[in-house]
Chain A
Amino acid sequence: MCEVETKPLVDSVESLTKEAEILKKKLDAERVKLNDVTLFDSTERAETMAYMSIKPRRTLKGHQAKVLCSDWSPDKRHIVSSSQDGKMIIWDAFTTNKEHAVTMPTTWVMACAYAPSGNLVACGGLDNKVTVYPLTMEEDVTVKKKTVGTHASYMSCCLFPNSDQQILTGSGDSTCALWDVESGQLLQSFHGHSADVMSIDLAPSETGNTFVSGSCDKMVLIWDMRSGQCVQSFEGHDSDVNAVKFHPSGDAVGTGSDDATCRLFDLRADREIGMYGRGNLIFGINSVDFSVSGRLLFAGYNDYTVNTWDILKNNRVSLLYGHENRVSCVQVSPDGTALSTGSWDCTIRVWA
């Protein structure tokens, strides 16, 4: 330890990499010390769940190409979705009507998000930009569109961090960035990943200043939005981390990866506490989300299905067939009443 710290910081990749290796080993040793039980020993007393009965309730048809991303409105019934052909559609999912359809000047709109007020949506994709559209009934929404930020590579994910005035984005240039909507100013950028950032999620707290990001470098990082620093990191996945989601308690993070497993990392225990996968599930996961109580983890797979995991028992409690191509996004509605899934088969389905 002493040796490591007294060593002057030589500006060479090799020495630093070596140092990182040493530190990593120590860290692993530290983590093992407190690993007293496995998840499934200690959850025995929790009652087992019956196989879930969850059925398709709505099918939203209208996209002409693969649906790549969707987001629930805070009013719990509208959905914004974006697709490969550059269309963004605002749905009233309850009536399955389309309320707006916007054509973007790009294809592969990989991210879209509703603002907390429900009056704004943001989207972006291969154009490397995040664009904001105010939703008004009177005129064409494209009139008031506004480009907020530009990345050096495609934008893979975006969200509004509890505010209409800011947007947090993750990009293929391996960074995340926080933008001011009004001025388009870059408020903070987050460096630390060594490959494309695929997914981000905000901590579920009113005053939350942290968010999590998952990347193609197989890492899951926790960030402080104020300082722009990475405060915690988790390794474990064998492949790209495609999806990250905070547990509703804010103490854990669920992830989904191309290695066909979902994992649960606990922030306070500082380690992986659960892994959800089966030998027969060999396809990657594109998206995950928790139910309101944090017990169910919904995961959208590349094999066209959605599997639901009981994270406490490590049981699969349901398997949703229906989509005819890859499931690209899953999201539980804000009040937990329904689950939306978007797929490459051009449809969005709402399950309840």
Chain B
Amino acid sequence: MEGLVRKMQDTENGGIMVRSQKIFLSSIPAAFMGYDIIEWLTYTFRTFDNDFPPAEAVHLANMICSYGYFFPVDSKNLTVKDDGTFFRFQSPYYWPWQKRPPDNVEYAIYLAKRTLRNKQRHQLEDYELEAYNNLKKNLANKWEFITMQAEEQVKLLKTEKKVDKIIADSQERAYWRVHRPPPGMVTSLEHCPVPSRSWNGQRMRKKTVEDCRREVDLLRRSLTRTRIKTSQAIESLIQYYDTYVEYDVLMSQTSQTSQSTHPTNPWVTDDVSFWLLNAPLVEVTTEKRIRKWALSMEDLVSDPTGLQEFTTYLRKEYSHENIRFWSAVNELRRSAQSQISIRVQLIFEEFLAPGAPCEINIDGKTMEKVHQEMRNPSRFTFDAAQEHVYTLLLKKDCYPRFIRSDHYKSLLANAIQQQISQKKRFFGFGQMKKKTSTSNAPSQNLLQQQASQGGCVAAVSAIAKRRGSDRSLSGSAHELAVSGVKDPKVPHSHSQSNLSDIPYRGDLANLPKGVPVAAVAPSPVKKPNMAVVAGASTSEDVCPWEAVPEPRSRRNSGQSESSSSDVSVAVAEITERLQRTNILTQQHTVDGSHQLVVHAAEMPRRASVSVPIAHGVDQVARRKVSSFEDNRSSARSTPPSVFIIPGDLDNKTQENICKTLRKSHSIAKTCSVTGTNAPIISVSSVADESTDDDARSTQERIDEIEDEPGARRVSSP
């Protein structure tokens, strides 16, 4: 309030008062007109703000008036209009905040004074009369003093000049109108009953020695703080804005270029699909949301669906102990005090103890720290280890890998397109990206540049920028290099070089083999259709990318088969429908039998396909198993249905086919378990009896035997 008072008084002293007081009207002394105020305000503030609309001036004038700095001469309402109504300034004696809020005695004196004077001009209004009577009752012991005071003041008044009398009268009356308003009127002078706020000035608590010492400590510490240049700080704010502006609904509404996005802002259109699509845990994610995961690690893990996908991906790579540890420590930090010690122990046993089932890989120094902290368990016991895991393992290693992985790309490809107008282009983009991952790098570059215009470029460059800023926390040249370039194409290619420079390329090449192979896998049910897709993708690999100018039309015209993309669209639709029913059935089955069911369902298919495709089937099998583990391990907190991952398109169709087969083969399944393939059966039987982790590790071992051993084992360094 203090500063406000000062400001108000500044305005009064420096401005309106001086100028406006020149205006005197002969008939009504010391007055000015409404439009004078408005004009003055507009004139004064035009220099500050080019767009100072008259409406704002009126508003401001009204505000000042309602505080009682000036008041209308005739009317009883404290409002200002841009017209010729007369106003008069309040005498500084009566300004609010000049003194404490008036007490009832003063009010009583004022009212008594009015009763003593000319009945016609000074008659009390109803509410005042009521207040007067009340006060008379309440202040009975002081009443004599009050009437004496009032008489005194009336006597004094009589000695004054008439003009002064009129002015003083009106000022006093206006003062009380502000401070004791008629019932039902809003007053601006209401105070918070908050102790310190109601009295201005010296309300600072007296400083104690301890306070001072604390302040000195803080100052001394902050003297050694490392700072960045202001320009850098501002640069990072601008970058942040550039990166996230497309997720700022309020901003995109403003910009003229905003396309008709779908789904729309629910507050504007009453269409809640926006919220449904952006719910914390969803089966099918929007493309925009998935792209956000690529912006930064924080964006990924703060989105429950993102965290879940990330975990699934790492689980497939057998390096999910890090993310699980990270989540567990987060949970610990947020748990109730009573559970801290138990949780600390549990986490230690699971992740850190020698020979723990899910041991994480941290250096000796951090381990030592943890052991020290363990003596006195608190919610921050594992902070050092968590930090280590987060920055070194997850952020620098797993996260970039995830973003470049086929898992992420397939998520992107399967995502719901938010912008209808761009639907086809994005679809084609995703498809191609997936396929090109096996082809050579230069062609990929070219293709992406062709296919991705607008949003894609923005996204990619945004990724590049964000990554840049992540890496250069110490303010390196990298960040500046990226952000300094304005041409949208250049940062794009920059990010591309980024991608191809990565040290994990070897891993990448090995890892995702399963996906493309899976794409070729034919199935007994849909054999003819799938064959088209398979043929398309294989022959496309042979076809030189560079020779074809338009990526989308090439797809259709280049192949002899009529429309492979149409087929895949249809497949996607079926997939979605089927998936929904799948989830329903899955919810009703028990875990143990589940795994049996899946493998059983695979049997007939395996029999029908030739040898190389076994790889693809394995992929599906493993995916299934892992998702069920998910189900079990976190069934406590989340509904199971959400763990069905909308994976790669072709994988999904296979899953679905599995399901349909399962239904038809439900009788035959038990016998088919004892069928051909030994390793897989052993997995399912083990999984039935043992714990999740055991099952996983068994599976892991088998996989190593079956596929290229070692190549898949991408655990943390």
Contacts and interface: CB of A to CB of B under 8 A. Distances in A.
A180 B249 contact: no
Given A76-B275, A338-B267, A282 B7 contact: yes
Given A252-B233, A278-B45, A295 B241 contact: yes
Interface stretch (A97-105, A131-139, A230-238): A230-238
Contacts of B383: 226
A183 B336 contact: yes
A300 interface: no
A9 B210 CA distance: 11
B3 A284 contact: yes
Interface in A293-326: 293-296, 302-305, 311-312, 316-317, 319, 321, 324-326
Given A16-B213, A240-B2, A292 B218 contact: no
A270 B227 contact: yes
Contact of B222 (A5, A270, A335): A270
A142 to B, nearest CB: 22
B633 interface: no
Given A16-B216, A239-B4, A258-B3, A294 B244 contact: yes
Contact of A196 (B3, B8, B196): B196
Contacts of A249: 236-237, 240
B48 A279 contact: yes
A64 interface: no
A3 to B, nearest CB: 13
B119 to A, nearest CB: 36
Contact residues on B (Cβ < 8 Å of other chain), bracket: 35 or more
B28 interface: no
B213 A9 contact: yes
Interface in A249-283: 249, 251-252, 257-260, 266, 268-271, 273, 278-280, 282-283
A248 B60 CA distance: 32
Number of chain A interface residues as a range: 35 or more
Contact of A303 (B2, B59, B254, B275): B59
Contacts of B582: none
Interface string A85-106: 0000000001000000000000
Q: Is the interface of B mostly helix, strand, loop or mixed?
A: helix
Contact of A165 (B193, B209, B336): B336
A182 B222 CA distance: 36
Interface string B263-283: 001111000101100100000
Contacts of B49: 278, 280, 316
Nearest to B268: A352
A279 B45 contact: yes
A352 B253 contact: yes
Interface string A200-233: 0000011100000000110000000010001111
B638 interface: no
B247 A336 contact: yes
A344 to B, nearest CB: 8
Contact of A282 (B11, B193, B251): B11
A317 B248 CA distance: 15
Given A205-B298, A293-B247, A182 B337 contact: yes
Contacts of B272: 94
B186 A303 contact: no
A144 interface: no
B205 interface: yes
A42 interface: yes
B4 A226 contact: no
A256 B553 CA distance: 56
Contacts of B247: 292-293, 336
Nearest to A318: B254
A24 B219 contact: yes
Given A52-B254, A174-B205, A282 B230 contact: no
Contact of B236 (A31, A53, A251, A259): A251
A17 B213 CA distance: 9
Given A279-B44, A284-B3, A292-B247, A230 B241 contact: no
A63 B530 CA distance: 62
Contacts of B386: 207
Nearest to B15: A279
A17 to B, nearest CB: 6
Interface stretch (B71-79, B327-335, B411-419, B613-621): B327-335
B231 A42 contact: yes
A181 B196 CA distance: 28
A206 B3 contact: no
Interface centre among B11, B245, B249, B256 (most CB of A within 10 A): B249
A119 interface: no
A284 to B, nearest CB: 5
B108 to A, nearest CB: 27
Contacts of B256: 50
A293 B230 contact: no
Contact of B233 (A165, A269, A332, A339): A269
B96 to A, nearest CB: 13
Interface in A1-58: 5, 9, 11-13, 16-17, 19-20, 23-24, 26-27, 30-31, 34-39, 42-43, 46, 49-50, 52-54, 57-58
A240 B4 CA distance: 10
A165 to B, nearest CB: 4
Contacts of B195: 153-154, 172
A191 to B, nearest CB: 7
Contacts of A252: 233, 237
Given A251-B237, A296-B251, A239 B230 contact: no
Nearest to A351: B267
A185 B227 contact: no
A21 to B, nearest CB: 9
Interface string A114-133: 00000000000010000000
A177 B236 CA distance: 32
Contact of B234 (A154, A273, A283, A321): A273
A25 to B, nearest CB: 10
A329 B59 CA distance: 20
B7 A195 contact: no
Interface string A153-195: 1101000001111100000101000001111010100011011
Contacts of B249: 292, 335-337, 352
A245 interface: no
A292 B248 contact: yes
B502 interface: no
A51 B330 CA distance: 42
B421 to A, nearest CB: 21
A271 B55 CA distance: 36
B330 A206 contact: yes
Contacts of B205: 174, 194-195
Contact of B253 (A20, A39, A54, A266): A54
Nearest to A221: B218
Contacts of A248: 240, 244
Contacts of B390: 207
Given A233-B218, A269-B230, A11 B250 contact: no
A72 interface: no
Contact of B335 (A26, A165, A280): A165
B60 A303 contact: yes
A150 interface: no
Contacts of B52: 280
A110 B3 CA distance: 22
Interface in B188-207: 188, 190, 192-197, 203-205, 207
B517 to A, nearest CB: 36
Contacts of A296: 248, 250-251
15 contacts: A52-B253, A107-B193, A182-B337, A192-B215, A207-B330, A240-B197, A249-B236, A260-B3, A270-B225, A278-B45, A282-B4, A291-B251, A332-B250, A336-B249, A337-B266
A-B pairs, 6 with minimum CB distance: A239-B3, A163-B334, A16-B212, A352-B267, A293-B248, A23-B219
Given A153-B195, A280-B60, 12 more contacts: A20-B215, A50-B254, A165-B336, A166-B334, A191-B211, A226-B380, A248-B244, A270-B222, A280-B44, A282-B7, A294-B237, A337-B265
